[in-house]
A and B are shown apart, each in its own frame.
Chain A
Amino acid sequence: MSERVPVNPGRVEWAGNNPGIYLRDSADGPWTALAVYFHIVLSPRGRGRTMIVLGEPDRAEGLAANNVCLTDNHDLTRYLLEGFVSKFPSFRGKAGLDAMSWHDLERVHIEDALPARYTMSAAAPQVQAVMTLEALGEPFPVEVTPETSATGAHDMYSVFLEAKAASIAVNGTRLRGRVTDRQFFGKTMSTAFLALSETWVSPLAAG
């Protein structure tokens, strides 16, 4: 679509919240730790929650490298990995994504202390993973098309809150790296964010 229209004619893929934290040692260095959390309220594979943490994104190992996936809906998570996460620029081609160990998510605890802090704690029998966003900014609405979306294939509506600081921990160990700046549609923004009320839509095929 070249213009915003009231009723998107495309097929809704999923809706939910989708915060992320991407860490590295320096602004031009490789990612040292990546984490993304999905709370999906609508999808063709049902509802569910998934936390993916890559403690060593470029290493083809699972729990030993803190490369883990905690999920309460494996089918939904496979759908998200295939169509979305594996296409996100920060996760694309990462050996840790294919090698990560899978764990049955038992519970998630969200601590909402906006704007100071927003914490997501996920627990499975062998793994506890915690994503913490701090010093969050004002929310702003975002709408992108396939040309600018993270997958290169979808329309996407969302609300973003930038976090000036963030951390990821697995089984009590804080993962390496820090938040850095990136360009986000002409705006300098950090690599940690709370993304709320997202909707991803597959546009209708041309013709």
Chain B
Amino acid sequence: MPLKTPINPGKVVWSGENHGMLLKAAPDGPWTALALFFRLYYSPAGSGTALLLYEEPDLAESLPRACNVMISDNEPMARYLMSDFVARLGNSPFGTAPAFPAVQFVALEESHASGDPGSRFSEVVRAPGIDVELVWDGLGTPRALELPKELTGGKENDLFTLLVESRRPAIVLNGRTLPGEPVARVQAGIETTTAFLYFSETWIAPG
């Protein structure tokens, strides 16, 4: 699309931050822990904070056996994200893991960010009996991406986003670091990892 049209004719689907990490014990093994964090400034279901966490991605159960949960301060937004975003992420394990349909929705008590995406960054999310710290360390150079829908997981909407990759992420659940490490992936020709910070992320339904 030529830049003579600075106002994109598409419709904003949602906009905000969308950090995540997908961890494996071995590059060819199963996913051992997954986390996807949202801080939305705009969506059809309002703004808010949400964390999708799969302590055991291959287990089709939730609390109390496994912390496979969607924690949020805006449940309609969280349900919107699960049905209209996560479920449509193509072959992403967030939408295809056995844990996905078993997820319980949990009310968020507290959340805050700390650190800096230039060095080490973390998000803390707390709910009754659940204390999660997501840590992104070994951070890369920020890169502004503008992806046509064909280059996205869902292949449905265009995307503006700002990627900062992480080489040393961790999911700490109630004081215990969940097993696994990030693995290699390629996004829009960039060799990166399955641990990422995405700031200024906007999904756009093509006009």
Contacts and interface: CB of A to CB of B under 8 A. Distances in A.
Nearest to A2: B3
Contacts of B6: 142-145, 148, 185
A42 B201 CA distance: 13
B42 A114 contact: yes
A196 interface: yes
Interface residues of B, number: 40
A12 B8 CA distance: 21
Contact of B12 (A6, A141, A143, A155): A141
B188 interface: yes
B47 A143 contact: no
B162 interface: yes
A139 to B, nearest CB: 4
B199 interface: yes
Prevailing SS type, chain A contact patch: strand
A142 B42 contact: no
A201 B200 contact: no
Contacts, number: 126
A180 B142 CA distance: 37
Contact of B1 (A4, A114, A140, A155): A4
A172 interface: no
A167 interface: no
B1 A139 contact: no
Contacts of A1: 3
Contacts of B200: 15-16, 41, 157, 197-199
A141 B147 CA distance: 14
A42 B118 contact: yes
Interface residues of A, number: 42
A166 to B, nearest CB: 18
Contacts of B146: 4-6, 8, 143, 157
A42 B140 CA distance: 13
Interface string A69-103: 00000000000000000000000000000000000
7 contacts: A6-B148, A6-B189, A16-B200, A47-B116, A157-B144, A197-B15, A197-B16
Interface of A: 1-8, 10, 12, 15-17, 41-42, 44, 46-47, 112, 114, 138-145, 148, 155, 157, 159, 161, 184-187, 196-199, 201
Interface of B: 1-3, 6-8, 10-12, 15-17, 41-42, 46-47, 113, 116-118, 141-148, 151, 160, 162, 164, 188-190, 199-202, 204
